[in-house]
Amino acid sequence: MTIQEKALVIFSGGQDSTTCLLQAIATYGQQNVQVITFAYGQRHAIELEKAKWIAQDLGVRQTVLDLSLMKQITHNALMDEQADIEQTDQGMPNTFVDGRNALFLLYAAIYAKSQEIKHIIVGVCETDFSGYPDCRDVFIKSMNVSLNLAMDYPFQIHTPLMYLTKAQTWALADQLGGLQYVREHTHTCYMGVEGGCGECPSCLLRNKGLAEYLESK
């Protein structure tokens, strides 16, 4: 039994948001699910291509929004081909983009309301917390309140991965029948290597989680 309401998934084509999308389709039904993808000057076009391919393959409507204006006001390694990815002195990876999730949620909500969608799903996670402040549950809850007040609309932001480890996120994909799908089709590598470089922080986290899950099976 699916819930007869509509949902919007914030979708990057990576492991986490693809798992959220599979869960949303199982919960709301494919015809009730849409995705929104943000282009903000990511280092690698491969992310956007994967996201487009998956949305098409799963038969959900995708809206791609260009937020490359971010480059005018903030600088970070995720958007700069020249920069090395590393930890900063504050212990945060220099891939952090200030305000990114606040901005994504705001645009997602504006779009969602125009489509009469209340449910917004985002794959942020506090567990493997890299120090990104806008991945914390407290931020998402406060943003939910702000959006509802801003637009006088009862949005419900869902964060199904908030307290899962990477291994548990793989387990969830498996429960949804999507383990192979997520392994094959999603892109998470910071270096933009098809199939993953195996060395960047993102690949390490993904591979470690997968190994843990497969061992525990």
Q: Is 94 exposed, middle or buried (0-12, 13-18, 19+ CB in 10 A)?
A: middle
| Residues 148-187: x where in contact with Zn ion by CB under 5 A, - otherwise, as a string | ----------------------------------------
203 binds Zn ion (CB under 5 A): yes
191 binds Zn ion (CB under 5 A): yes
User: According to the annotation, is 13 in a ligand binding site?
Assistant: yes
User: According to the annotation, is 21 in a ligand binding site?
Assistant: yes
Applying CB under 5 A, the span of 92-100, 122-130, 178-186, 194-202 interacting with Zn ion comes to: 194-202
33-39/61-66 β-pairing: parallel
Residues 6+ away with beta carbon under 8 Å from 77:
83, 84, 85, 86, 93, 94, 95
User: According to the annotation, is 200 in a ligand binding site?
Assistant: yes
User: According to the annotation, is 17 in a ligand binding site?
Assistant: yes
Binding test (CB under 5 A) with Zn ion, winner from 78, 112, 200, 210 = 200
**Closest distance between Zn ion and the C-beta of residue 206, in Å?**
8
Applying CB under 5 A, the span of 34-42, 57-65, 142-150, 200-208 interacting with Zn ion comes to: 200-208
User: According to the annotation, is 146 in a ligand binding site?
Assistant: no
Closest CA to 104 of 147, 71, 47, 54: 147
210 binds Zn ion (CB under 5 A): no
**Closest distance between Zn ion and the C-beta of residue 200, in Å?**
3
User: According to the annotation, is 189 in a ligand binding site?
Assistant: yes
By the criterion CB under 5 A, which residues form the site for Zn ion? 189, 191, 196-197, 200, 203
Q: Which residues are annotated as a binding site for ATP?
A: 11-21
Q: Which residues are annotated as a binding site for Zn(2+)?
A: 189, 197, 200, 203
Q: Which residues are annotated as a binding site?
A: 11-21, 189, 197, 200, 203
